[in-house]
Amino acid sequence: MTYQKILYYTANRIPLSLKDLCGFDHSVVDLEDAIEDAKDVDDLLVKLTNMRLLRRVLFDKENESRIRLKCLDCIGNVSYLEIRK
């Protein structure tokens, strides 16, 4: 899937670093490669789940210009990974 921009932010729209999502096992480039290689949202969720990110990733919203995924950490804090097409 082609994308123009990847945003990662808290529920209050405070920007976060993509490295906070990836952790030490993967780099931001691995995350970008998974997004580029995905065919659709379901395939993207499978690829991100297989990467074992620091937060659990769930589908939130999709329209023709963006995909928004909801990320939950172990204490229940919500953040969003937004992919703009």
Shortest CA distance to 78 belongs to which of 22, 4, 14, 10? Answer: 10
Range of the domain at 16: 5-84
Round to whole Å and give the CA distance between 45 and 62: 13
**Tell me, what's the pLDDT at 82?**
96
Q: What is the mean pLDDT of the chain?
A: 92
Q: How many domains does the chain have?
A: 1
Residue 64, CA atoms < 13 Å, CB-side half-sphere: 0
Percent of the chain with pLDDT over 90: 80
Task: Give the tens place of pLDDT for each residue, 47-70.
Answer: 999 998 999 999 999 999 999 999
Q: How large is the average pLDDT for residues 43-47?
A: 94
